[in-house]
Amino acid sequence: MDESTLIALLSGSAIGVVLTVGVLLAWRYARGSRELGSDGEHATYRTLHLASQAAEHLRAGLDGDEVSRAARHLRALLGCDIIAIADAGGAIVIDGPGEPFREVATSIAERMSEASRTQVVPVPAESGRDSTYAIAAPIVTDGLVAGMVIVFATSRRAPLIRATGEVAAWVSAQLRLGELDASRAALAEAELRALRAQISPHFIYNALNAIASFINTDPSKARELVLEFADFTRYSFRRHGDFTTLAEELRSIHSYLLLERARFGDRLEVTLQIAPETLSTVIPFLSLQPLVENSVRHGLECKEGGGRITISAEAAGMNVQITVEDDGAGIDPDAVEALLGGSGGADHIGLRNVDSRMRQVYGDAYGLVVETNSGAGTLVRLLVPQSQPMNDTDAVKAHAGERLRMPDRSAS
């Protein structure tokens, strides 16, 4: 075979290899594109992804440090070169090469109280470019203009104008959701303060009187009660964490009942029926202690001869069932219904607040179940999910520390 023939064969083989590789790459690309979806599905995914990223940075409001990050995602969402976001105070956050337009954005923001709809404002040539327009859409919350989304573009395209208005409306919705989250957090904190206030005046006065009665007659008993009182108040008035463990809450209840028994003596009997596997269950802070205090104050305190309180906890499917039962005076069922419905009086406020908090945290299916009648005692049952990805954290259990086991001494 001569040299020219060999070269021709090698060239043909090389071309064949290149064509084969090209066909394979094209096939893989086409297949990958089909697996990832159509162009429309790609666009939908990208839009939702950018919106979800921006939402994370808007819940704190327009005056927070996160607004600049939200602006970056909103600029990508609108496909514009420059976007500015103004808050109610006129502060401007710009994403993109928009510093030459800051003065224009500030001027528009100063008139934001007059804005009721999307406006298109020509930008003076000396601001940086010729034929540039500012598309400004108001961000409205509670009927007031809380800020503005301002997009700078070289044309007044109707789709961009409509999209800017829709983005401003979406930002308004995110701010309202952020305000709702803040309101819920404030409500939860207020209810927690109400529970602490309930504990404070009545119980502390009686506990200190009980301790004082032992100072001369039994100093060691008085010292023990002072330590229990310190443990109880330290737990009840702590400032960190909305959640605790069942073991930690029971430890506080143990201190509380020791102090109450110092006052009631043998008139107060307590039985604990706690399955060991439930002790590490994460529960809302101060969700069980108010129920026990309610049994003592309204169930047994007014009953001649005292009575018994039984606290139990056991696994119930995917939940842990906790009950507080007393054989005290009981409550009229209609009064309980009104109380849990929010129309009851000031009595049993702990019962109502615990029910409200349980529903807020876990949903209406986890509201308190109360079985009672006048003169027939009261049983309060609450369910807590065993698995709580958002709350079942190592930090909660680490705070419990060595208290994940109940103390050896018993309140009964």
Decide if pLDDT at 357 tops 80: yes
CA distance 179 to 144: 14
1: confidence class by pLDDT, cuts 50, 70, 90 = low
**% of the chain exceeding 90 in pLDDT:** 11
Parse the chain into domains and list their residue ranges. 57-179, 215-404
On whether the CB atoms of residues 48 and 42 are closer than 8 A, the answer is: no
CA torsion, ordered 189, 193, 194, 195, to nearest 10 deg:
100
User: CB 309: neighbour CB atoms within 10 A?
Assistant: 27
250: confidence class by pLDDT, cuts 50, 70, 90 = very high
Give pLDDT, residue 18: 44
**Residues 6+ positions from 130 with CB-CB distance below 8 Å:** none
On whether the CB atoms of residues 172 and 143 are closer than 8 A, the answer is: no
Section 243-248 average pLDDT: 91
Nearest Cα to Cα of residue 349 among 188, 224, 223, 195: 195
Section 52-63 average pLDDT: 73
Give pLDDT, residue 385: 92
Give pLDDT, residue 361: 85
Give pLDDT, residue 286: 83
Decide if pLDDT at 169 tops 80: yes
Decide if pLDDT at 172 tops 60: yes
Task: Judge whether 57-179 and 215-404 match in fold.
Answer: no
> Which fold, 215-404?
Heat Shock Protein 90 (3.30.565)
Give pLDDT, residue 384: 93
Radius of gyration of the chain (CA): 33
The tens digit of pLDDT for each residue in 379-405 reads: 999 999 987 755 554 444 444 443 333
CA distance 131 to 156: 10
CA distance 260 to 360: 31
Higher pLDDT, 244 or 411: 244
The tens digit of pLDDT for each residue in 216-226 reads: 888 888 888 88
Distance of CA 310 to the CA centre of its chain: 32
Section 257-268 average pLDDT: 84
Section 153-177 average pLDDT: 84
**Residues 6+ positions from 176 with CB-CB distance below 8 Å:** 141
Long-range contacts of 354-357 (CB under 8 A, 24+ apart): 354/195, 354/286, 354/287, 354/290, 354/291, 354/382, 356/191, 357/188, 357/191, 357/192, 357/284, 357/287
312: confidence class by pLDDT, cuts 50, 70, 90 = very high
CA distance 397 to 235: 15
Decide if pLDDT at 161 tops 60: yes
Counting Cα atoms < 13 Å in the Cβ hemisphere of 209 gives 10
CA distance 66 to 319: 38
Kindly state which CATH superfamily the domain 57-179 is placed in: GAF domain (3.30.450.40)
On whether the CB atoms of residues 318 and 380 are closer than 8 A, the answer is: no
Give pLDDT, residue 379: 92
Decide if pLDDT at 354 tops 80: yes
Give pLDDT, residue 22: 52
Give pLDDT, residue 111: 78
Q: Which helix (H) or strand (E) holds 164?
A: helix 158-214
CA distance 232 to 220: 18
CA distance 219 to 342: 45
Higher pLDDT, 298 or 251: 251
Give pLDDT, residue 129: 53
The tens digit of pLDDT for each residue in 71-127 reads: 888 888 888 888 888 887 777 888 888 788 888 888 888 877 667 788 888 887 654
Burial class (CB in 10 A: 0-12, 13-18, 19+), 399: middle
Interior angle at CA 41, CA 37 and CA 46, nearest 5: 115
196: confidence class by pLDDT, cuts 50, 70, 90 = low
Give pLDDT, residue 398: 46
Task: Supply the pTM of this predicted model.
Answer: 0.52
Give pLDDT, residue 320: 95
On whether the CB atoms of residues 153 and 81 are closer than 8 A, the answer is: yes
11: confidence class by pLDDT, cuts 50, 70, 90 = very low
Give pLDDT, residue 208: 81
Section 293-321 average pLDDT: 85
**DSSP helix/strand/coil, 262:** helix
Give pLDDT, residue 112: 72
